[in-house]
Structure 1
């Protein structure tokens, strides 16, 4: 009735800062990731490069904070799921044992 599932492999390690910078610098200019930023640059011709860069960095930092919050939330949810999985397995074993005892 209940099959024991294989354990999932561990999550891959997140990329290092150097790896992320290498990805950013090697990305083509028409990469979809940068399309929003390039359209903002075109729309803000009256801004200086410093202002544009500051806005981009600010948006990047805000996105980074959101990702960190999401990661924390996902880790908490994963922990809760693991606890619930353990409890369900114990309950299933208990029910299985009771059914075996009742059939004896």
Structure 2
């Protein structure tokens, strides 16, 4: 009998559980002890800070706006570059045709 034969039955895994609801998550967070490892990790990484100030929110908003504007400009430039590349390719083909025509006339 071949060790790698396909006679083995596949084990059927149970389906994934549904993700928790927001209420279940909040209940879990509110029921956690203050010394819960998640909170200590957040403190160590500095992610346990209070809500950001209005100036921090505004700063992040402006950064997001600038990112979106830059991304839009990059997409526009990309479109122009693709068009210019196609024009250069067509001009190169036409130049090659013209060179071949001139060669044919000089022979």
TM-score by length of 2: 0.49
Greater relative contact order (Cα < 8 A, sep 6+): 1
More helix by share: 1
